[in-house]
Each structure stands twice: as structure tokens, then as C-alpha cells.
Amino acid sequence: MSAPVFERIGVLGGGLMGAGIAEVCARAGAEVRVVVTTERSRGAARARLERSAGAAAAKGRISAEERDAVLSRVTFGTDLGELADRQLVLESVTEDENTKVKLFRQLDAVLTDPAAVVTTNTSSLPVTRLAEATGHPGRLIGTHFFNPVPAMPLVEITATAHTPEATVARVAEFVTAGLGKEAIRSTDRAGFVVNALLVPYLLAAARMAESGHADAADIDKGMTLGCGHPMGPLRLADLVGIDTLRAVAAGLYEESGDPAYAPPEIFTRMVEAGHRGQKAGRGFHTYT
């Protein structure tokens, strides 16, 4: 295996996306350090990685030796200072602008490599606004991965006016040659490419269920059997997470003012009831 574009990688966040990003980076041969906020989160992030890598080995996608190598390449911590020597830091925390900006400003004081690159996995927030809130706007770039990260082949890359073309090229090479993903480029606009098209579709399905026009099962069956979609929109909303989808939609609506992005009231009621989708066992559908 050739040396990865970035050999020392940091990941901020150990949820489904953060753990998935750590896994694919470790599969590429990089040494990965995941930083989370609490000891409990550290244990949960490690367990997610172990389950995912173990499942990949059980299904024959990677060998048992590769699984062990992946797990050996990833360490977990709670101190942001542990990322000081990283060449690349991939942020994948909650979709909240204030939280992300606070972390990026802390990284300004932590990273020692002047050529270090920082990426954000935001699916809706303006990358330029995040970059300009830091002391080094030229090193922040958008890399939007999709869930589940080890299985989904796409990454959206979003540069800003501050991003040197050499940085864009390094990140694109890392995504394609390093991780084996496909990359598409998007301007820094609401929703980039995928969510600009997908979110209004998911919200329209939620409004249809909310109005009583059809129930969730029939809406999903209509789109899978009638349009050939691999998954219905409400089951996909459950997979994304109702709370996550509501936050993404709210961010898109705030930036664009387009009513197609306005989160429906049913999302608020579902989140308040704890029906946050597949991860909670219940959303538009029920999961065991």
C-alpha cells in the first residue's frame, strides 16, 4: 500500500459519521486519533468502530487481519491537544454553527503544522462563514461524507474563496486515491448538490404524512415500487435522523429563505417525543 496523502489524521466527533470517517481513514492506512467530549462518548465511539469493522470482516468485505489493523490504527481521546501533530483534521460534530466555530478556533491554537488542513462535514452550513470565523480561513474546506461512511461512495468537496487550489487538490486526492471514494465539487451554496435536491423531497414526504394524505408505509412503498428508489423517503429520513434532518432543513431555510426547506411541525413533535428515527428505535417507522 502506498503512503496515504495524509498519514496523521484527526477526527472531531465519534458519532455514526465520525466513527465511520475514522474507519475509512484507518482502512486507507492512516494513523487516526478521534477526539470526543466525554469518557462515555469515547467508549461509545470505540464500540461503533469495533462493530462496523467487525461486521465488514464477517461479511467478507475486509479480512480479519485488515479488521485488526484498522482497530490498531485508531485511538480515542477527550483532549483537543492530542490533535496538535495532525496533518488533517476532519470535523464531524453536531450540525450547529456555534459548536463548530468554537472547535475551529480552538484548533487554531492547537495545530502545529502550518500546512495542516481542516475539513468540516457540514451538510448545510456555509463553509465560508465557518472559515472566516477562524484565524486560518485558507485551511478550512468542506468534505461532506454520507451515512454509512464505509459503504457510501460519495464525498462532496466545497472550497471557499480563501481555499488555495493546492489544498483543494490535496483533499481531492485524499478522497479519491486515498479513500477510494468518488468526489464531486460544489459551490458554497445552501445544501451543496445532494441536500439541495434531497431535503425538499424528504420534507415533502413528511408533510404528506403529516396531512394524512397517505401513511408512512404507503408513501415509502409508492417511491420504492413506483419510482424504483432503493429506500422510501420516510425510511431515509429515519436513517438520517429526524433531529439531524430538522437541523439541516432549518439551516438551509435560514440561508436561502426558500419555503421548500422549512422544517415541518411534525419534526418538532417527533423529536420532543424521542422519535428521532432509526437510532432511537422509532421515527416514521418502528425499529427493533
Which residues are 185's β-sheet partners?
157
Q: Is 285 noted as a catalytic residue in this protein?
A: no
C-alpha distances in Å from residue 163, one per residue of 166, 172, 194, 265:
8, 13, 22, 38
Let me know if residue 287 belongs to a domain. Answer: no
Let me know if residue 269 belongs to a domain. Answer: yes
Q: What is the pLDDT of residues 237-278, one digit of tens each?
A: 999 999 999 999 998 999 899 999 999 999 999 999 999 999
- Given this model, what pLDDT does residue 5 score? 83
Q: Is the pLDDT of residue 42 over 50?
A: yes
Domain encompassing residue 249: 194-280
Looking at residues 132-137, what average pLDDT do you find?
Answer: 94
| pTM for the whole structure | 0.90
Please tell me whether residues 156 and 235 are part of one structural domain: no
Q: Is the pLDDT of residue 13 over 80?
A: yes
Q: Which residue of the set 91, 156, 186, 275 is catalytic?
A: 156
Q: Is the pLDDT of residue 1 over 90?
A: no
Let me know if residue 1 belongs to a domain. Answer: no
Please tell me whether residues 98 and 224 are part of one structural domain: no
Q: Is 147 noted as a catalytic residue in this protein?
A: no
Let me know if residue 285 belongs to a domain. Answer: no
C-alpha distances in Å from residue 173, one per residue of 163, 168, 180, 183, 277:
15, 9, 9, 9, 34
User: Is the link from the previous residue into 200 a cis peptide, with omega within 30 of 0?
Assistant: no
The helix (run of H) or strand (run of E) holding residue 239 is helix 233-240
Looking at residues 100-108, what average pLDDT do you find?
Answer: 96
Please tell me whether residues 22 and 82 are part of one structural domain: yes
| Count of structural domains, the chain | 2
What CATH number has the domain bearing residue 66?
3.40.50.720
What CATH number has the domain bearing residue 231?
1.10.1040.10
Q: Which residue of the set 52, 124, 195, 275 is catalytic?
A: 195
Please tell me whether residues 123 and 209 are part of one structural domain: no
Please tell me whether residues 16 and 37 are part of one structural domain: yes
Please tell me whether residues 207 and 238 are part of one structural domain: yes
The residue from 185, 211, 238 where one domain ends is 185
C-alpha distances in Å from residue 23, one per residue of 13, 56, 154, 224:
13, 11, 15, 30
State the distance between the two ends of the chain, measured CA to CA, in whole angstroms. Answer: 40
Rounded-to-integer distance, Cα 59 and Cα 219, Å: 32
Let me know if residue 45 belongs to a domain. Answer: yes
The residue from 158, 185, 212 where one domain ends is 185
Q: Which residue of the set 123, 124, 186, 275 is catalytic?
A: 123
Q: Is the pLDDT of residue 2 over 70?
A: no
Residue 11 contacts residue 18 (beta carbons within 8 Å) = yes
Please tell me whether residues 136 and 253 are part of one structural domain: no
Q: Is the pLDDT of residue 3 over 80?
A: no
Let me know if residue 286 belongs to a domain. Answer: no
The residues, ordered by sequence, that sit 6+ positions from 16 with a Cβ below 8 Å of its Cβ are: 48, 147, 148, 279
Q: Is 144 noted as a catalytic residue in this protein?
A: yes
Rounded-to-integer distance, Cα 64 and Cα 188, Å: 41
Q: Is 156 noted as a catalytic residue in this protein?
A: yes
Please tell me whether residues 173 and 65 are part of one structural domain: yes
Please tell me whether residues 166 and 37 are part of one structural domain: yes
- Given this model, what pLDDT does residue 123 score? 87
Please tell me whether residues 149 and 222 are part of one structural domain: no
The residue from 126, 156, 185 where one domain ends is 185
- Given this model, what pLDDT does residue 4 score? 66
Rounded-to-integer distance, Cα 59 and Cα 114, Å: 41
Let me know if residue 160 belongs to a domain. Answer: yes
